[in-house]
Amino acid sequence: MLITDLIVTPIAFADPPLLNSTGVHEPLALRTIVQLVVDGDVVGLGEGSGERVVIDRLKSVRDVVVGQSVFATSAIEALIDETFGGDGGGLSRIERRVVFSIIEVACLDAQGKLLGVPVCDLLGGAVRDAVPYSAYLFYKLDGHPALDGRPPIPDSWGPALDPSGLVAQARLMIDEFGFGSIKLKGGVFPPVEEIAGIRALAEEFPGLPLRIDPNGAWSVATSIQVARDLSGVLEYLEDPTLGLDAMATVAARASMPLATNMCVVSVESFAEGVAKKSVGVVLSDHHYWGGLRHTRELGALCDTFGLAMSMHSNSHLGISLAAMTHVAAATPHLGYACDTHYPWNRSDDVVKPGVLRFVDGAVPVPSGPGLGVELDHDVLERLHRQYVDSGRTTRDDTAYARRLKPGYDPILPRY
Amino acid sequence: MLITDLIVTPIAFADPPLLNSTGVHEPLALRTIVQLVVDGDVVGLGEGSGERVVIDRLKSVRDVVVGQSVFATSAIEALIDETFGGDGGGLSRIERRVVFSIIEVACLDAQGKLLGVPVCDLLGGAVRDAVPYSAYLFYKLDGHPALDGRPPIPDSWGPALDPSGLVAQARLMIDEFGFGSIKLKGGVFPPVEEIAGIRALAEEFPGLPLRIDPNGAWSVATSIQVARDLSGVLEYLEDPTLGLDAMATVAARASMPLATNMCVVSVESFAEGVAKKSVGVVLSDHHYWGGLRHTRELGALCDTFGLAMSMHSNSHLGISLAAMTHVAAATPHLGYACDTHYPWNRSDDVVKPGVLRFVDGAVPVPSGPGLGVELDHDVLERLHRQYVDSGRTTRDDTAYARRLKPGYDPILPRY
């Protein structure tokens, strides 16, 4: 059961104008789809970052991966480390794991298909039949404005630039998906406005756990003030400020746990984060932690050091959602609803509809072999053409924000 | 693929009179063999402690395990935790994991047999084709003396009560198995004699890495003195003294890393051991760490916190050796030759000969489905009858030592 090919396909898909601390989501989000062929026959699927540098690295390890057993994921990781690590490559372990994670997921999908079992069963089995996700709210523009001769791109979500806009967005999302918790991407407006947004959500959805994530947009002093203002309102406060030391200072004064996908992000930073007591909740993301087995290991790390575990998301499609769902189902220590951008991007999905669905805010673990999802080759072809035609190779929310608002300054901390 | 039966068979097998810090190995060592039946057909094998209390616990979770999917090992662990944890059971996590580990290995063996893949492939694949083990030397008596009307039981190893006896034992073992490193179970004689033993081994086998493990028989002062005397001679010093604090004091003054299977032994003690810098090498043992997946996780824990990893052993037979070999092969971070008692106990093995062999001191990873070993039902029956006839239910090296030498006092630290 040897890997005979690794097909790397960059794609671009529609993304609404979501706001964050560094700018605005561009009209197209980038992603890479990997098809890992085993014995010229079975195909395992992987999905990850669409950054040009990741695509180039995936292509350059093709010859290293081809010929390996599809079960030898640890050996493949070692080969990727050899290729990119040390003096020659000089990539950090997290950069290498970004590449490996896409291939590992594709290997596990192929393994499951070869063996006739779902991926979660290769990870110790599901401890939950469905994985709860949170409603991931964003401040957003009404639509993408006309630019460079391109017509405006409206979307059905409408604008969300104040508390009532957020509440309306949450209502839409909860009505459709049934989410039982809410996360707000903050760091966009002055904290007093975002606090008002959270308070409006708390009032409108009593009992629903709430989180806010300003992506490090706040100073330590501001973070402490927000934590005080929202005491008893938030289940956790995500990355209010940047760096393990600043987070530790805030954590010592906040009544709710701090969560992170920005300061404890790797093998290297975990030990330091533990020593400094920077966070109470680590947000796993299999794309950064090196795949599904390493994500389960992160659960053991968190368990051992008394940290809770949740899950982070970036703009993604169905292959990633399936992988996130399998690993979350198979990770006992994961105790919070996970983040997902899927509601924002699902209309352009590369997987055929039918398997991935939200029931009461949770995605039932796909029961078919492997990840349990099937690639729609027509959509893949369309999204790949869209990628090529766009000429884009990297995500740059700041540059796009400056096109819309000259002089936009993404400096952090902003408030 | 549901579990339909769990057959628990306690056994007793021949064990030579090996000496350690608490006494003498009795003529019979106890162990439990588990046969986990899936769909009334495929049988997965597990092996673990033969203590009566473990056997009783295994039997009492039979009804909880039967009916579960053989892939649902995390759910089974949760059920075992429910059964024995909390106020009702009151067992510690390590006690619960001792029970779970035997069942998890049996599940993985059955999974591999059902899917047609070796267990290591269910753990990320082998990163080494064969797992190096160390020559595990013991001070020992010539044979078991006559007792209670039982005739004496000689063995072919001969006595080892001084440096020349150790060297002779090492020569026998290395000639037969090809081991490339040596571990001495110490804590038996005054440290000056054991230091002389290590020096004799170093002289006789130049270049072979050496370790000594007195199982906490030494005071802090003695440990520091031995570490000084053997500086440059030992690759690591295992459990010279008892407790995380005492070990930390020694570790700060020893030139070689300290290793342990006595003070960092569980999820609970890992974090404290890290904080106190008690050890540099953690000895994994899947029987205590809760099976093969948790042992791989231990690798991630050690990797993250800059600790090395080796493997501990107790008296065991071939099912455990196969499991140890699969998980060691699949754990990239495991960087030392592993411990095994197998040379002392292999003549009474419950697995059919042919698969498990030592080549240049390493066991090639069995390539057959599951663990790759087959149960010899005749031997199992014989060893079970031996267990029943013996009337034994617990291991007690101290009581046996007192039979041989009235007044034997196992108090630690002794030196």
Structure tokens at B284: 């994994």
Q: Contact B304/A270, CB-based, under 8 Å?
A: yes
Of B116, B270, B300, the CB nearest to A297: B300
Distance from CA of B54 to the nearest CA of A (A): 23
Question: Does A296 reach chain B within 8 Å, measured CB to CB?
Answer: yes
Residues of B in contact with A124 (CB under 8 A): 72-74, 293
- Helix, strand or coil, per DSSP, at residue A331: coil
Residues of A in contact with B298 (CB under 8 A): 300
Q: What stretches of A85-239 show up as alpha helix (H) in DSSP?
A: 86-89, 93-115, 163-177, 191-204, 220-229
d(C-alpha B114, C-alpha B108), whole Å:
10
Of A78, A305, A306, the CB nearest to B127: A78
DSSP state of B129: S
Residues of B in contact with A78 (CB under 8 A): 127, 332
Distance from CA of A358 to the nearest CA of B (A): 23
Structure tokens at A130: 């469905």
Q: Contact B75/A301, CB-based, under 8 Å?
A: no
Q: Which has the closest alpha carbon to B241: B187, B308, B307?
A: B187
Q: Contact B121/A71, CB-based, under 8 Å?
A: yes
Residues of A designated catalytic: 185, 312
pLDDT at res. A88: 60
Q: How far is CA A60 from the centre of its chain?
A: 24
Tokens 């240049």 found at: B360
Question: Does A126 reach chain B within 8 Å, measured CB to CB?
Answer: yes
Residues of B in contact with A126 (CB under 8 A): 72, 74-75
d(C-alpha B212, C-alpha B197), whole Å:
10
Please write the tens of the pLDDT for every residue from A345-385.
999 999 999 999 999 999 999 999 999 999 999 999 999 99
Residue of B25, B144, B312, B326 marked active site: B312
Question: Does B3 reach chain A within 8 Å, measured CB to CB?
Answer: no
Q: Contact B121/A69, CB-based, under 8 Å?
A: yes
Distance from CA of B122 to the nearest CA of A (A): 6
Structure tokens at B136: 């595990």
Q: Are B21 and B62 in contact (CB under 8 A)?
A: no
Question: Does A294 reach chain B within 8 Å, measured CB to CB?
Answer: yes
Q: Contact A300/B304, CB-based, under 8 Å?
A: no
Amino acid identity of residue A122, one-letter, is: L
Q: Are B65 and B76 in contact (CB under 8 A)?
A: yes
Global confidence as pTM = 0.97
pLDDT at res. A85: 83
pLDDT at res. B157: 95
| Full pLDDT tens readout for chain B, 415 residues | 999 999 999 999 999 999 999 999 999 999 999 999 999 899 999 999 999 999 999 999 999 999 999 999 999 999 999 999 876 678 999 999 999 999 999 999 999 999 999 999 999 999 999 999 999 999 999 999 999 899 999 999 999 999 999 999 999 999 999 999 999 999 999 999 999 999 999 999 999 999 999 999 999 999 999 999 999 999 999 999 999 999 999 999 999 999 999 999 988 899 999 999 999 999 999 999 999 999 999 999 999 999 999 999 999 999 999 999 999 999 999 999 999 999 999 999 999 999 999 999 999 999 999 999 999 999 999 999 999 999 999 999 999 999 999 999 999 999 9
d(C-alpha A90, C-alpha A41), whole Å:
35
Q: How far is CA B184 from the centre of its chain?
A: 14
- pLDDT band of residue A40 (cuts 50, 70, 90) is confident
**B232 φ/ψ sector (left φ>0, alpha ψ -120 to 50, else beta):** left
Q: Which has the closest alpha carbon to A323: A119, A111, A112?
A: A119
As for the ipTM of the complex, it is: 0.95
Q: Are A181 and A208 in contact (CB under 8 A)?
A: yes
Residues of A in contact with B127 (CB under 8 A): 74-75, 78
Q: Are A173 and A179 in contact (CB under 8 A)?
A: yes
Distance from CA of A326 to the nearest CA of B (A): 13
Q: Contact A296/B293, CB-based, under 8 Å?
A: yes
Q: Work out the number of other CB atoms within 10 angstroms of the CB of residue A209.
A: 16
